[in-house]
Structure 1
Amino acid sequence: MSTPPDSAVSDGPLSRERSHLAGSRAALRAMREDVESLDIRDVTANWVNAEVLARQIDDRIKALADLSHTPLFFGRLDYLHAVGADLAEGARGERFYIGRRHVHDANGDPMVIDWRAPVSQPFYRASRKTPMDVALRRRFGYTGGDLTAYEDEHLSDPAEAEATSKLLQQEIERPRVGPMRDIVATIQPEQDEIVRSGLGGTVCVQGGPGTGKTAVGLHRVAYLLYAHRDRLARTGTLVIGPNASFLHYIEQVLPALGELDVRQATVDDLVAHVEVRGTDDAAAAVVKGDARMAEVLRRAVRAHVTLPTEPVVVVRGSRRWRVPAHELESIVRELLDRDIRYGAAREALPQRIAHTVLVQMERSGEAPDDRVQDAVARNTAVKAAVKAIWPPVDPARLVLRLLSDAEYLAGHAEGILTDDEQRTILRTRPGRSPKTAAWSAADAVLIDEATDLVQRTHSLGHVVLDEAQDLSPMQYRAVGRRCTTGSATVLGDLAQGTTPWATRSWEEALRHLGKREAVVEELTAGFRVPTDVIAYASRLLPHIAPGLTPVASVRENPGFFEVREAAGPSGTTAPGTGGPADVVAACEELLRNEGSVGLIAADARVPLLAGALEAAGLSHLAPGEETTLATRLTLVPASLAKGLEYDYVVLDEPQAVVDGEPDERTGLRRLYVALTRAVSGLIVTHAAPLPAQLSEAAAVR
């Protein structure tokens, strides 16, 4: 049953809500104690089952943890009528408290409803225009773990004017300290539609800075695990991020929502068949990342197959069974025409040969069974024929030969790669073996492709791919192999593509991913970046992503934004002489405020600024390290800023950020990323002239 409506008592609504919070916490504690008290000594058949059950109980105890500074519920819905019997029973005027997890009392009646339950959906989507049978929506404000305020919306009252929720704005604009937090209390209707989209379909979310696309992707995983837990428990889920710092930043979101078993990885982690010790120049990486390389590898793998010219003679007892070369060739050609994976075909070949022998046996009057066929398939002559016709392939060795043998590469890349492209990817010092080769990250992706040509990659039930705009076509293929029988959530922003092979269109990216049918959604409402900051950064959009809709900030607080021209050592503003003292002063100024501060600079200037901060006595962190109340300043190389956010940002020398990239377009995209990491305020310091594209005149053009 739902909680009954307020009774006529003398204490106020806030006091009653606090009582419900205390009762809910007590109920959660009782649920956890019930699990902790379970005795499984006599309920399992063996020690393996006991270990599995014990681990499940331990996970359940962790999921029922009461985080003291995390609100147990953040909203309330009062319905006009009873909700369907499949959800709850009750009289007119049912009430439900919406929170991060389900909590019930000793009788099994809900004290808090999971935000993912169908009955909770109107909390995110109901409006006065479409009230969804909700009479009142109440939002709660917290300080730490204490309930301190509430705010009501009477959705069924036509006389009440539409108003912006103050508590919602406060939650959105609350300072960021530490890792990324969930947005379960502030999910907007357009975000909720994506979060609750079905498991069977792939969704691609194009979203500018601060639109919440990463949070939407993570909350979609949490929702799918709630709605399809048994299926995803079998098939698995995976969140893919651009780097370890980003994954560390987001790693607490799903556990806070009660989901502890979602794996996180980078693309490099997925394709780690070899140790990556080398690097490619941009030109080589672009060619290696091109989807045409998949066909080069396919040709090279299939080229190992040799059509037979000799018969196979199987001796069993006193009988000899002969399979002519032309029959062997027919079997081989049939397997090639089916275009199944190389390893699967190699495993099928001896069985096909054995079947041909069994047909001969049956014609001669014998009655062989499956055991005889298996024995023939293991016959020495058959095994020797298979080895000669369809030899095993080592994917790493194959890729090494392609990249080090010009003649071998030319034979398989003819008509696919130009001569110049072939020369670009050839190694001058290839290494003697796969173990000693200085593999690059792009090489590892090629090996993963070759591995899949030999043996099918395991597919997961759902994959979330964040910062997808920076993947190469071959990397998309690597991710797509992990969800061939599942679905995906693809998250990114075309304007933030900063690799030489950055995605040009989502249609193209989804084709490489193998998800042509995916629905592309666009988020344009900015909840993180202040209005003045996003407006300034959006001046770059016509130059880096023409036609892309600029983000429109919905924050009431315009934020703090200032561009400061820094003085050089002699008081001048000579190009390239940006004084660290001005940067340090800006950091000291912003550290007087509550929240985190990020100092973002071109990678080449990071050592200089690190020394200046140390000389000034300002302790600082590197990206991915835990922010504390004592150390709230992080020094961020521009190349690692993507996906991160800070309450306040100091951006050092924008032109240096642009110059740090191989071309201007990529540099401007890197600058766009750096400009949009601030939640509350941004100070841009420069001694060198600003990029011309940041001028208002350039933006108008």
Structure 2
Amino acid sequence: MRARTESLDSAAAGDWVSREFLEAAFAERRKALADDPTVPLFFGRVDYRPDAPDVGGESLHVGRRHITDERGDPMVVDWRAPVSRAFYRASRSEPLGLALRRRYGFVRGRLTGFEDEAFGEARPSGAAQVEDEYSALLEAEIERPRVGPMRDIVATIQPEQDVIVRADLSRSVCVQGAPGTGKTAVGLHRAAYLLYAHRDQLSRQGVLVVGPNASFLRYIGDVLPALGEMAVGQTTIEELVATTLRHAHAKATVRGSDPAPVSVLKGDARMAEVLSRAVWSHLVAPTEGLVVPRGAARWRVPAYEVEETIATLRSREVRYAAARAMLAQRLAHAVLVKMENAGDSPDDRVQDAVARSRPVKQYVDAVWPAVDPARVVLRLLSDPDFLATAADGLLSADEQRLLLWPKPAKAPGSAPWSLADAVLVDEAHDLVARQPSLGHVVLDEAQDLSAMMLRAVGRRCTTGSATVLGDLAQTTTAWGVGSWPRALAHLGKPDAVVDELTRGFRVPGEVIEYAARLLPRIAPELTPPVSVRRARGELDVVATDPLGALPAAVSRVLERVGSVGLIVPDALVADVVRVLDGHPLAVVGTSDREQVEFDVRLDVVPASLAKGLEFDHVVLVEPAAIAAGEPDEVTGLRRLYVCLTRAVTSLVVLHGEPLPAALR
């Protein structure tokens, strides 16, 4: 296929424009056909029974991409193709037309073995026979050491995961997933599936992945490209709204921070109505009519008629700026009607000229002035009287005082914008001008977003769909909404289906059961997760001087195969790096470093950035300090739950302070 692409010649194009287009298309095709020899092109095979509809008697290999031979016949079918569905979902009770399913084992691109699962009486010879629910090759793939960033799971997608991955584009899906259930991978693979199934539509409309922080995005950044999808945007909620803030004012940046109570209040859904009142409060009731001189005549639109026009536009619930533009046209139309009644015969060109005329523009500026979203929010947070008017009946006097900046700002470029403030600007911006909608948005760690943050993400997919991923037990922000129905309502997707994943394929039994002791305190309503891995993993809890014992503990873990994550309280990061001087390491979340996170075997992970990451071996330092680093006990235990569940093979807990009660 690469050779055929290389042989294509753009010289046959009729003109230089066509030639440039063809050369760009050929370059894209060559890029799409690039190959990593260490990644196998296929990982399974399906043999259909002779009586299977449409594909009776066919034997098809399943892989990451569609591969054809010289005649164009398929040698490997894409894992996302409808014909591949049976590879993931067939069972003894529902074989879905299969006679045989084969799984292949590879090590760095070299075939090492295969297993057959027969759906019927015939049993092939020469391959291991699968009797258990999980084959040895499937288990080996799950158990394979994690080195570097996150990888795809196309070879190990389970039936309950495949149902979510292949959900139709028109459906929004929410996945409540316990640690290790693969919810992030499911969301990414759903994005890849939708791009395959709806390529033309989503290529135009776009797909966006929203993650909790930049380190998380770097960790998952290789998954979609490995599946052949290069054009999916990835961002964080902070960058999403900071872009809007910069668009509102080039010099405005997110550089401030708020205490937790202030962030909670700014993230409250009531702020949407406060902002709506603030934006629309700029309308001014007309006291005088509009007078438009045209030639020797002067045409007048009385104030009461203008007021009726403004009321009509307000009732249509269009955006502020769009309605403002409509007002100019409505006033011009009123002038034209008067011209016609006087015997003139004006056309649309006259109406456009009147709408652009100085008297109409000045009149519109007076009764419907232009609004700067950043300045509206700046005024709300700096002007007590303006805030009191907009928040009347919505926020108490104490809440209003809490919202106000300690030192009022005079210009957006010098204001101490926080993340929560930028979210408010994003809301105000949407009240003024509609946010363009994408075709699909994947939102990970959604449980940590406030109502206003969820509204900001929801605006990016008003006419599209969403895949919402998260775990209520891992809510570590004070402003999280705490309920999936409420979160989906704020997102604008109240009809989304909520699926719960509880079978863990990543976290071993010893570790997940230890961490699950915290669930009755942090999320009693959730079903405790169950590890389906045969390997129970290793758990070692050691009472010691953590910093003193750390070098020896890390050295022992580094002797083993796989990635190592050293999860520590944020306040101890500098001390830990000092104690481990001489070990090649990277600190997750820092930018001034020689080593890049996930590119070395040892990553030092501040507890606040551990969410979403995974390592073969985890050394966790001072659990009590991790929990104490949060504003309240429940949030602290949730943070600890997150940190305890990052291990894939082994977990070593070093503590000098007494453990939280549930873990003793």
Change (3 A) 1:627 1:351: closer
The residue number in structure 1 matching 2:44 is 75
Q: Within 5 Å, which residues of 2 pair with 1:355-504?
A: 355-504=333-482
Alpha-carbon distance in 1 for matches of 2:201, 2:37: 32
Are 2:29 and 1:65 aligned? Answer: no
8 Å CA contact 1:128–1:162 kept in 2: the answer is no
Instruction: Give the C-alpha shift of residue 53 in structure 1.
Output: 4.6
> Scaled by the length of structure 1, what TM-score is found?
0.90
Q: Is the alpha carbon distance of 1:99 and 1:418 closer, same or farther for their aligned partners in structure 2, counting shifts above 3 Å?
A: same
Give the gaps of 5 or more residues in structure 2: 124-128, 246-251, 590-594
Kept in 2, the 8 Å contact 1:494–1:503? The answer is no
Aligned residue number for residue 143 of structure 1: 107
Question: Match of 1:679?
Answer: 648
| Alignment pair present for 1:178 and 2:133 | no
Residues 359-393 of structure 1: CA distance to partner in whole angstroms, max 9, x if unpaired?
11122222211101101111111111100010000
SS in structure 1 opposite 2:576? helix
What is the match of residue 605 of structure 1? 572
1:204 aligns with 2:174: yes
Secondary structure of the residue aligned to 2:412 is coil
CA contact (8 A) 1:621 1:627 kept: yes
Q: Check 1:50–1:501 CA distance in 2 against 1; reply closer, same or farther (3 A cut).
A: farther
Instruction: Name the counterpart of 2:71.
Output: 107
How far, CA to CA, are the matches of 1:486 and 1:51 in structure 2? Answer: 33
1:9 paired residue number: none
Closer, same or farther in 2 for the Cα pair 1:401/1:194, shift >3 Å?
Answer: same
8 Å contact kept, 2:450–2:481: yes
Task: List per-residue Cα deviations over 1:443-492 (Å, max 9, x = no partner).
Answer: 00000000000000010000000011100100000000000000000000
* Alpha-carbon offset, residue 43 of structure 1: 2.6
Q: 1:638 pairs with 597, 604, 607, which one?
A: 607
How many Å apart are 1:162 and its aligned residue? 3.7
2:631 maps to what in 1?
662
Structure 1 residues 611 and 671, CA gap change in structure 2 (3 angstroms): same
**One of 234, 237, 240 as aligned partner of 2:207:** 237
The C-alpha deviation readout for 1:174-233, integer Å capped at 9, x for no partner, is: 100001000000000000000000000100000010000000000000000000000001
2:309 counterpart residue number: 331
Inter-partner Cα distance in structure 1 for 2:341 and 2:51: 74
Give the Cα separation in 2 of the matches to 1:647 and 1:549.
25
Match of 1:619 among 578, 584, 590: 584
Could you say what secondary structure the match of 2:653 adopts?
strand
The AA in structure 2 aligned to 1:262 is V
Q: Does the CA-based 8 Å contact 1:179-1:626 persist in structure 2? A: no
Give me the whole-angstrom Cα distance separating, in 2, the residues matched to 1:296 and 1:225. Answer: 38
Shift of 1:44: 6.4
1:430–1:438 contact (8 Å) kept in structure 2:
no
Deviation at 1:52, TM superposition (A): 5.1
* Alignment partners' CA distance in 1, 2:662 and 2:529: 18
> What's the counterpart of residue 4 of structure 1?
none
SS of residue in 2 equivalent to 1:96: strand
Cα 1:604–1:455, aligned 2, differ >3 Å: closer, same or farther?
same
SS of the residue aligned with 1:153?
strand
Residues 128 and 158, structure 1, Cα contact 8 Å, conserved in 2? no
Alignment partners' CA distance in 2, 1:126 and 1:518: 26
CA distance in structure 2 between the partners assigned to 1:590 and 1:257 by the alignment: 32
1:46 Cα deviation after fit:
5.4
Show CA shifts across 1:538-563 (max 9, x none). Answer: 00001111110111000011111110
Q: Distance in 1 between matches of 2:378 and 2:206?
A: 32
- Contact 2:383/2:408, CA 8 A, preserved across alignment: no
1:192–1:692 distance in 2 versus 1, CA, 3 Å = same
Q: Secondary structure at the match of 1:409?
A: helix
The answer (yes or no) to whether the contact 1:238–1:464 under 8 Å persists in 2 is yes
For the pair 1:596 / 2:563, whether they are aligned, the reply is: yes
For 1:345, what is the secondary structure of its paired residue?
Answer: helix
- Quick one: structure 1 residues 51 and 560, their matched pair in 2 at CA, closer, same or farther if it must change by over 3 Å? farther
Question: How far is the alpha carbon of 1:83 from its aligned partner?
Answer: 5.8
- Sort the Cα spacing of 1:46 and 1:82 in 2 relative to 1 into closer, same or farther, 3 A: farther
- What secondary structure is seen at the aligned counterpart in 2 of 1:142? strand
Alignment partners' CA distance in 2, 1:611 and 1:186: 40
Displacement after TM superposition at 1:40 (Å): 2.5
CA distance in 2, matches of 1:50, 1:234: 23
Which residue is equivalent to 1:523? 501
What is residue 561 of structure 1 aligned with on the other side? Answer: 539
Whole-angstrom distance in 2 between the partners of 1:269 and 1:81: 54
Could you tell me which amino acid in structure 2 is paired with residue 364 of structure 1? A
**Does the 8 Å contact 1:59/1:260 carry over to 2?**
no
- How do 1:198-277 residues align onto structure 2 when only pairs under 5 Å count? 198-272=168-242, 273=245, 274-277=252-255
Q: How big is each residue's C-alpha offset from its partner over 1:64-122, in whole Å with a ceiling of 9 and x where there is no partner?
A: 1121111100000011126655xx6xxx5210000000000010011100000011000
**Matching residue of 1:19:** none
Question: Secondary structure of the equivalent of 2:461?
Answer: coil
CA distance in 2, matches of 1:280, 1:52: 50
How many residues align? The count is 645
User: Secondary structure of 1:520's partner?
Assistant: strand
CA distance in 2: counterparts of 1:439 and 1:116, whole angstroms? 44
Partner of 2:592: none
1:579 offset after TM fit, Å? 3.7
How far apart in 1 are the matches of 2:558 and 2:597?
A: 13
Q: Distance in 1 between matches of 2:15 and 2:487?
A: 49
| Cα drift, residue 60 of structure 1 | 2.2
The TM-score, its normalising length taken from structure 2, stands at 0.95
Between stretches 353-362 and 340-349, larger displacement belongs to 353-362
Q: 1:519 to 1:255 in 2, by over 3 A?
A: same
Question: 2:79, 2:14 → 1: CA distance?
Answer: 34
| 1:161 CA drift (Å) | 7.7
Matches of 1:378 and 1:179, distance apart in 2 = 56
In the alignment, the residues of structure 1 paired with residue 568 and residue 67 of structure 2 have an alpha-carbon distance, to the nearest angstrom, of 46
Mark the runs of 5 or more structure 1 residues left unpaired by the alignment.
1-30, 567-577, 696-701
Report if aligned partners of 1:332, 1:349 keep a CA contact under 8 Å in 2.
yes
Shift in Å, 1:307:
1.5
Q: Distance in 1 between matches of 2:598 and 2:521?
A: 38
Q: Which moved more, 1:371-380 or 1:476-485?
A: 371-380
8 Å Cα contact 2:565-2:615 kept in structure 1: yes
Ranges of 4+ aligned residues in structure 1 off by more than 6 Å: 158-161
Residue 153 of structure 1, aligned match among 94, 117, 126: 117
C-alpha distance 339-676 of structure 1, shift in aligned 2 (>3 A): same
**CA, structure 1 residues 411+44, in 2 after alignment: closer, same or farther (shift >3 Å)?**
farther
Equivalent residue number for residue 191 of structure 1: 161
Q: Do the aligned partners of residues 278 and 161 (structure 1) sit closer, same or farther apart at CA in structure 2, a change above 3 Å counting?
A: closer
Distance 1:527 1:394 in 2: 50
Cα contact 1:177–1:627 (8 A) shared by 2: no
